[in-house]
Amino acid sequence: MAHTTQLQQYHNNFDYDPAGMELEMERHRKRRKKWKEEVVDVPLRRDPLEVFGTDIMLKILSYLDARSVALSLLVSRAWHAVSSTDRLWASKLEELWLGKAHIPRLSQIRGLSKLAAYSLAVVDGKRNRIMKEDLCDHVWEFHFNKAAPDYWRNLDPYWKGTGRPMRRYFHPDGSQSADPGDKVWGGHECCYLTVTSIVGEDKIREHYVRINRWPRMSVSRKQDWSWELSNHLYSYSSIPDADKEGGTGPLYDV
């Protein structure tokens, strides 16, 4: 009995109200929830571009690879405006061109944005169809293959190890020439042509380069964007010229 009296007195001293306490706890939970939403969760849900600003986002995007930056173009108009700037894509374009043998002419059109130049360069780098411009824009190293007769290989510095490989030059008028003093060339007249047959949805069925009536040469493209023409007798390889002003190859997408 005495214990009950003391407990009641204790409750009275602290004005204990179970209903009021529960209400106060509910208010505390709501305040904490609101604080969590405003202070913790909201920044995570907000657009990073709004949180960090343009300059910081450009810095962040500069550390991403080109594909990731390209995907950020799709987020919103604001993101597209930031992610498509020349300031960002100039370095991506330099990275793309690094180590490449040839830089496509169509990606160096004056006034073209760096993003557009990057896209065109990637597309052109995947092109396996050689054009007349590609043949004429480059100097080509020429050598005989192992299947060629001994007579020709004995004249070839590639096999003899007596100097740089022979060089060939394709001209816009359809002719071909060599350096003066070339023992294999002999001063005979040469003409060339490219042949491409396409079926279905622009699918290449047959593609080759032919000089005079000699065996046709298949066309291949290397990872450094250089070209190779070859058959069982001889091969041509384009000499790297990435520093060539204005670029090389066709002006329009093929």
Orientation angle between helical segments 86-97 and 114-125, nearest 10 degrees: 30
pTM of the predicted structure, to 2 decimals: 0.77
Per-residue pLDDT for 41 more than 90? Answer: no
**Residue 186, both tokens:** 């002999």
Beta strands in 56-102 (DSSP E): none
pLDDT of residue 197: 87
pLDDT single digits (tens) 128-150:
999 999 999 999 999 999 999 99
Tell me which H or E stretch contains 44: helix 42-45
DSSP helix/strand/coil, 238: strand
Q: How is residue 117 written in tokens?
A: 């130049």
Longest dimension (CA), the chain: 130
Residue 229, Cβ neighbours under 10 Å: how many?
25
pLDDT at 5: 56
Run of H or E including 145:
none
Sign of CA dihedral 184, 145, 238, 98: negative
Amino acid identity, position 95: E
Q: How confident is the model at residue 46 (pLDDT cuts 50, 70, 90)?
A: confident
Q: Is the pLDDT of residue 39 over 60?
A: no
Percentage of the chain surpassing pLDDT 70?
Answer: 87
Within 10 angstroms of residue 231's Cβ, the number of other Cβ atoms is: 17
- Residue 24 belongs to what H/E stretch? helix 18-35
CA distance 212 to 173: 14
Average pLDDT value for residue range 150-155:
95
156-178 pLDDT tens trace: 999 999 889 999 999 999 999 99
The pLDDT score that the predictor gives to residue 8 is 56
Bridge partners of residue 167, in order along the sequence:
141
Q: Which residues contact 14 (CB under 8 A, 6 or more apart)?
A: none
Residue 10 is predicted with a pLDDT of: 45
Q: With a cut of 80, say whether residue 64 has pLDDT above it.
A: yes
Q: What six digits make up the tokens of 169? A: 């030059």
